[in-house]
Amino acid sequence: MARSDRHIRNSTFAVGFTLALGIFFAWMSGWLEGTEAGLYDVRAKRFQKFSPKPSDKIVHVDIDDATLEAVGAWPWPRTQMADIIDEIARAGAKAIVLDILYTEPQEIQYVRSPDGKTFTPVDHDANLAASFGRAGNVLVPASLSFVSARAQSTATTAAVKTLAAQPETTLDTLMAGLKAQGKFTAEELTEVESIFFTLRREAVLARVEDEMDQEFGGHGHRHATTAATSTVSTSTAATGPAIAATQPTTAATTQPAPSSQPTSPKFMPTPAQAEALQRKLMLRLFPSLDPNVESPQLRLVREGYDRALAERHLDGFTRQAVPGVAVFQPRSEIHPVHTLLGAAASSAYVDYPNFGDGTVRSVPLFMAHKDRWLPQMGLRTACTMLDVNPEDLIVTQDSVIIPAGTMADGTPRAERVIPVRTETHSFTSGRSIEMPLMMDIPWFGPGRWYAMYDPDRPNQKAQHLSMALLYGAAETRSRIQRNSQKVDEAIFFLLSDQTTEGGIKAMGLDMKAAKAHLLSRPPLDDLKARAFIIQTALQKVEATKIVEEFELIKPEERTKEERDQYRELTVNIANLKAAATEAGSLQAQLDQQRSELKSFLTGKAAILGWTAVAAVADQKPTPLHAAAPGVVVHGVIVNAILANDFWQTARPWVNGLLIILFGLITSVAVARLSPVVSLVTAVLLAAGYVLFNCVVLFDYGNWLVELAAPLLAVAGPWAGGTITRLVIETREKARITRRLGSYVDQDLVQYCLESRDETIFTGQERETTVVFTDLEGFTKLSDKLKKAVVPILNDYMGRATVVIKKHKGFVNKFLGDGILFFFNAPRPNVNFVENAMDCLLDLQVMMKEFNVELVRDGHSPLKMRAGMTTAKVIAGDAGSKDHADYTVLGDDVNLSARLESANKFFGTLMLVTDVSMQRAGDRFLFRPVGNIQVSGRSEGVMTYEPLAWIKDATDEEKELARRTDAVYTAFAADKAADCLAAVEAMEKAFGESKLTKTYRKMCEAVLSGEEPALPKQIVLSEK
């Protein structure tokens, strides 16, 4: 192997593998996360051939545009939602999951009675909570922040502790006390001063929690009064800080040992007890304020009280932490209204991480709630559907296992191993955050979220139910209840002898029947059960002729009591008749609605959430959708667990090994193979890996293996290695060109490097224009200057070479003071004759400039003579095996040398053949010199002298060409006298020259009788 080849190979490999290592470290640093995420989305969207059929146990109950049109703008009275929950429960849903946050209590509404005299309070929260209790399977979510818990400074910790003990402490008093301790920096004290009110709020809320624990019992809460908060917590200590870059985190403090069962409140106070407790708390925390007067401090105590109750309820829905397993510790929590949470069957957190581009690709299955864990909504819903207690899940840092068992209906439950991992997200500030127990969400279905569960019909909704249908059933039920209420009121008025709430005496038509009905009154939903009593009442009215009796009395003669009774009588009779008419149709309608709902919901997980167009805030980008309702993501998580279909991320060492291996293979290929072959190798390697990764690993095997970094480990080394090879080879070619260019024409060197056609060197017939040049007067100058003439010759040769190359000529040889060059070889040139003629004229221009410098230096000017022929010659290498020269061979090559020499005979500077003149085009001014026969040739050749470019020709040059043409025309016609006259006219205009002397001599020989006629050719005996 040549030394240069070894250098190219080693350098190419070194650059390629260095780039591969750079890609490896870029991947390790997380710089390729965005690219990998994009390829992740492509795989999720395009490769679903082996995805299992989605579970049919999930139904999304959508708050869609149709629902808003039917029910009205949000927020609705929660009693309406209670009616909807009742209908879902009645339809047999196994789990009712709310992707709706009820974080603020709804005000009690006062409804005016029909007579307008009284108002009935409607506690919507209590009604909704009652519906939760009736259903017994409602999940009410909480919200946990995906911002890591703040590590407090020692000064803020001390400030919170002081404010918790004495909430009335002023800012000045607090700052004075902290400064007196002398152990806090100025920056820490400034921070405390800037967030004083925030710290006091934290302290008061924590104090309220502690007071309630002491009052009613409960476990100790870990809060700011006792310890700084870490980001990732375990049951004993944080396994690693989440703020891993420039800011060290405070070490996690030892937490109380978690109980084996979920913590439940030991006592929940009644409203009266709650009010008394709030006043007691107010007196303890703010003794200088009146607890009966509304104030910000009282509102803060109420807030702490409500939060504490909600947390006590939420504690009951958590599971104990697993020793040694890290979980994310959120900075803040938003709890549901404690009334609703207390009536729920379960709770879970409902949020999604929002890192990078915001696309939801993974979610942690648990997050910390104090010293316990709160499950993610999808996981908790799946546990309900599989009849498993979250406490029974087996959790490790790498998996969450749902154990095998038997479900409530006797169906076997297979074990489900959910792969989880710890994600690290880096920020531009240099900070990073760790998210343990992250599950990759196995997306499925087409690009329309509403058709995910039936990919065969990508334009139709599947397993999505508009809440408007549930609202319709609830409204039908409400109409039945309103009619039943009216029936009961009518029965009371018509049959009993009591007095109505409005003070009107009832009619007393059948007191026994009235009493029996009122004692065994059917539920308000059952209008059909009132059919008999309705018929009885109407028959009594008809039999007693009570209406006719009233109508016999003229209206103006009726007493007030009679008017009131008649009005109530007609209204109640109308209500009974309407109820009798609608009873069957309303019940049939309700039965049909409920039957339809049962077909949708029986045994299913009903997940309620926003899908309306207006619900922009709850739209999430996913790998399949630019924006999808957040509730859809929960459904995908539930589906994965129920279908036992999970994606698993490959171990980091697998991805790293692939990157290094692909980089090594590509670097070797690009170093040892040609660029084309190495490109094919790289393309095949990359394409093969893409197919294997997407189809086999991802689609079939559910493995998430890095795609971006391994592909870059192929593309980067190939591109870098190929560029390196190109640069080195280019430099090597340039070096060879520079070295050889001093011996042969650089154009030949470059052409050799570029062309693979060897026939150009073995000899080929090629039409070329060949030029010989020589310097007239150089011998005399050389004899005069001796060796000092060499710089002058080199200067001339250098200038001439520049002109020749400018016109695409090939310099073949330097012959003393002469030059042999030609055109159209070795590199083809369509305009080679025209280029050659331009070159000759430019050389004469160059000579004028060169002579100016010679005269300036005290030397005599020189003349350049040239001979040009255009013909087919043999172009190729000539010489021995060890030493050869690329040149042209043939009779016409010798002719060009003879024409150069013939210039001395005619006194011309340049002679070109008629072929060269004709092929040069019409841009040049020529004059004919004659048909001459040079030494060594038996045939003559017509020659011309180029004088100038026509566009630049002077009048004198044009006249010279005209008069020379007259001489030659008469000579060619064998008219000696005319020729002689033309010669004399030419000499008169331009003076005597060697050319005119030649033609004069031949004409006079004919005119004197020495020769019979003018010769056809001018024969030159000298070479």
Beta bridge partners of 447: none
Give me the sheet containing 232-233, strands edge to edge: 232-233, 327-328, 366-369, 372-375, 319-320
Is it the case that residue 811 has pLDDT exceeding 80? yes
Q: Are 452 and 44 in contact (CB under 8 A)?
A: no
Question: What 3-state DSSP class applies to 595?
Answer: helix
Highest mean pLDDT of the ranges 106-120, 450-464, 521-535, 724-738: 450-464
For residues 764 and 272, which has the higher predicted lDDT (pLDDT)? 764
Q: Which residues contact 846 (CB under 8 A, 6 or more apart)?
A: 799, 800, 803
> What pLDDT sits at residue 218?
57
Instruction: Give the Cα-Cα-Cα angle 368, 370, 373 (nearest 5 degrees).
Output: 35
Question: What 3-state DSSP class applies to 64?
Answer: coil
Is it the case that residue 117 has pLDDT exceeding 80? no
For residues 649 and 510, which has the higher predicted lDDT (pLDDT)? 649
Least confident interval from 287-301, 457-471, 587-601:
287-301
Is it the case that residue 256 has pLDDT exceeding 50? no
Q: Are 387 and 413 in contact (CB under 8 A)?
A: yes
Band the pLDDT of 263: cuts 50, 70, 90.
Answer: very low
CA distance 419 to 524: 51
Q: How many CB atoms lie within 10 A of CB 3?
A: 7
**pLDDT (mean) for 177-185:** 86
**pLDDT (mean) for 233-252:** 32
Tokens 């709850």 belong to residue: 618
CA distance 175 to 169: 10
Q: Are 201 and 240 in contact (CB under 8 A)?
A: no
CA distance 1013 to 1005: 9
Is it the case that residue 906 has pLDDT exceeding 70? yes
Band the pLDDT of 528: cuts 50, 70, 90.
Answer: confident
For residues 739 and 259, which has the higher predicted lDDT (pLDDT)? 739
What is the 8-class DSSP label of residue 29?
Answer: T
> What pLDDT sits at residue 739?
60
Interhelix angle 154-165/171-181, rounded to 10 degrees, is: 130
Tokens 């000298």 belong to residue: 1022
**pLDDT (mean) for 260-279:** 60
For residues 544 and 318, which has the higher predicted lDDT (pLDDT)? 318
Least confident interval from 324-338, 636-650, 715-729, 751-765:
751-765
**pLDDT (mean) for 776-800:** 90
Is it the case that residue 227 has pLDDT exceeding 60? no
> What pLDDT sits at residue 118?
72
**pLDDT (mean) for 512-539:** 80
Nearest to 567 by CA among 650, 493, 653: 493
Band the pLDDT of 565: cuts 50, 70, 90.
Answer: confident
> What pLDDT sits at residue 348?
95
Chain centroid, CA 142 distance in Å: 31
CA distance 940 to 1019: 8
| Residues counted in the chain | 1023
Cα-based distances in Å from 545 to 486, 493, 542, 562 = 22, 16, 5, 15
**pLDDT (mean) for 632-646:** 95
Band the pLDDT of 470: cuts 50, 70, 90.
Answer: very high
**pLDDT (mean) for 672-689:** 92
For residues 961 and 187, which has the higher predicted lDDT (pLDDT)? 961
Structure tokens at 103: 């974080």
In terms of C-beta distances under 8 Å and separation of at least 24 residues, what long-range contacts does 384-387 make, across chains too? 384/94, 384/95, 384/137, 384/139, 384/345, 384/346, 384/605, 385/57, 385/94, 385/95, 385/605, 385/638, 385/642, 386/413, 386/416, 386/641, 386/642, 387/413
Q: Are 233 and 152 in contact (CB under 8 A)?
A: no
Percentage with pLDDT > 70 across the chain: 88
Least confident interval from 172-181, 301-310, 417-426, 849-858:
301-310
Beta bridge partners of 910: 866
Is it the case that residue 158 has pLDDT exceeding 80? yes
Q: Are 370 and 319 in contact (CB under 8 A)?
A: no
How confident is the model over 577-586, as pLDDT tens digits? Answer: 888 787 778 8
Band the pLDDT of 429: cuts 50, 70, 90.
Answer: low
Percentage with pLDDT > 90 across the chain: 48
How confident is the model over 507-517, as pLDDT tens digits? Answer: 777 888 878 87
CA distance 825 to 564: 126
**pLDDT (mean) for 283-303:** 78
> What pLDDT sits at residue 241?
28
> What pLDDT sits at residue 245?
30
Is it the case that residue 615 has pLDDT exceeding 70? no
Backbone angles phi and psi of 331, in degrees to 5: -75, -35
Q: Which residues contact 86 (CB under 8 A, 6 or more apart)?
A: 131, 134, 135, 474
Nearest to 402 by CA among 664, 640, 61: 640
Q: Are 394 and 404 in contact (CB under 8 A)?
A: no
Least confident interval from 23-27, 306-310, 943-947:
306-310
Is it the case that residue 886 has pLDDT exceeding 90? no
Taking all residues of the chain, what is their mean pLDDT, rounded to a whole number?
85
How confident is the model over 942-971, as pLDDT tens digits? Answer: 999 999 999 999 999 999 999 999 999 999
Is it the case that residue 250 has pLDDT exceeding 60? no
Is it the case that residue 182 has pLDDT exceeding 50? yes
pTM above 0.75, yes or no: no
